[in-house]
Amino acid sequence: MFLVFLVEGCMRKIIHCDCDSFYASVEMRDNPVLEDKPLAIGGSGPRSVVATCNYLARSYGLHSAMSMSQAKKLCPSLLIISPDMVKYKEVSRQVQRIFHDFTSLVEPLSLDEAYLDVSDVSHFYGSATLIAQEIRRRVQQEVGITISAGVANSKYLAKIASDWQKPNGLTVIQPHEVEAFVAALSVDKLFGVGKVTQRKLHSLGVRTCADLRAFSVYELTEYFGRFGQRLYELCRGIDERVVKPHRQRKSISVEHTYDDDLDDLQSCLEELPALTAELQQRISRHRGSEVLIIKQFVKLRFSDFTTTTAECLSLKVEEGVFRQLFAQAIERRDKSVRLLGVGVRLKAEEADAQIALPL
């Protein structure tokens, strides 16, 4: 065991924890026979996608969001298990309880990852590195899965670090290492840089953050609008976002991809009662959300993969409103429909306190 002492004072100490192939890890924990087999979690229909897969399956080129049909072509011996969300949520609660044993400043991002601010924690001499080690040890011992962690002085660097040595890894970016680490970082690792922005950066000769630092904030704003200011900060390791224990929920929705396309409005309307019922169940699980509803919306994805949405003001879920929105949306494309979604948008200023992950 080794000790790492970080400088005390106003320095922030952020840990990003990310469970390794979460759904698959839970299934392998419960059935050890699966450990040495390529495994994917998801549906088995022709339009199903991979929710997650274990690292053996990833060695065949599989990844999350890949179509299951493509996954089976790459790995004919792939085992497919339908997701058990009730079980995964309970495991997530167990992991979250461990996080809260160290700090109340925990910001869940999903069932399997979270930020922790341990700046003022006195455990383990105040060392974020040792705290991260202990969290990883306890999750493996008490929950039976592995977790990777990143330690840094900002959220975005901690998240990058947690992915650096996956699976079951720990990466620490010490304050004196930030300058060199960020300079060598590829710009596609920056928070908010997608494929379009990446292509534009590459067209400017920018591959690393060191390249990006050659541009002034005025030039970056001219090229990328408001996001230019953010790029200017990130390529210098600047990220002042704080860890927020309660994340604001802006909407609640459900959607379903169909094995066979829905050819017309009537076919879509026949699926509406089941979607509405599922949405109502999901709203009921978020206590108080029903009084925060301000809009209803629908989402349609057509056979050519184009997507459209329609919404209107509403203070409660009404199936008749969804019927009208479906009619509006389906007129926009002369195509059959492969995905339907329905949802509600919530009042922002009050939704914040409603959706902390129950412990």
In three-state secondary structure terms, 48 is coil
In three-state secondary structure terms, 258 is strand
Listed residue (102, 91, 109, 157) closest to 135, CA to CA: 102
User: Which neighbouring-strand residues pair with 41?
Assistant: 52, 81
**334 annotated binding-site participant:** no
Unique residue bearing structure tokens 């909407």: 251
Tokens (6 digits) for 11? 């320095």
User: Rounded CA gap, 106 and 158, in Å?
Assistant: 14
Unique residue bearing structure tokens 């992915």: 163
Instruction: Please give the sequence-ordered ranges of beta strands (E in DSSP) within 95-250, or none if there are none.
Output: 106-110, 113-117, 147-152, 170-172
113 is catalytic: yes
Sign, CA dihedral 257-260-265-271, equals negative
Q: Using the 8-state DSSP alphabet, how is residue 32 labeled?
A: G
Catalytic residue, from 27, 107, 113, 311: name it.
113
Q: What is the DSSP track for 290-306?
A: GGGEEEEEEEEEETTS-
User: Rounded CA gap, 336 and 137, in Å?
Assistant: 51
Residues 55 and 320 sit within 8 Å (Cβ to Cβ): no
- Count how many Cα atoms sit within 13 Å of the Cα of residue 355 in the half-sphere of its side chain: 26
Q: Using the 8-state DSSP alphabet, how is residue 101 labeled?
A: T
Listed residue (353, 206, 210, 337) closest to 291, CA to CA: 353
**18 annotated binding-site participant:** yes
Tokens (6 digits) for 240? 């002042």
| Binding-site annotation: residue ranges | 18, 112
Annotated active-site positions, please? 113
| Binding-site annotation: residue ranges for Mg(2+) | 18, 112
